Structure 1
């Protein structure tokens, strides 16, 4: 088995699963309860006067 075939096989199976799980985790993290307050606070940081 050459390197290309091995990498392609990995990308078609486990890497795709890992990327999908990562994406789902990011979406759940972004839309979790209570995250709006933190996001609003972070959005106002550049506009603060020190």
Structure 2
């Protein structure tokens, strides 16, 4: 097997699983208590005048 085929096989299996877990974690983070307040604070960062 060439290096390309090995890396492609890895990306097709474990890489996709890792991305799915990361995505699910990001979605689940939105439903943590207090997440709305933190998101609103982060959204206001560009408008602060320090």
Structure-1-length-normalised TM-score: 0.76
Instruction: Structure 1: give runs of 5+ residues left out of the alignment.
Output: none
Instruction: Structure 2: give runs of 5+ residues left out of the alignment.
Output: none
Greater RCO (Cα-Cα under 8 Å, separation 6 or more): 2
Structure-2-length-normalised TM-score: 0.76
User: How many corresponding residue pairs?
Assistant: 50
RMSD, aligned α-carbons: 1.5
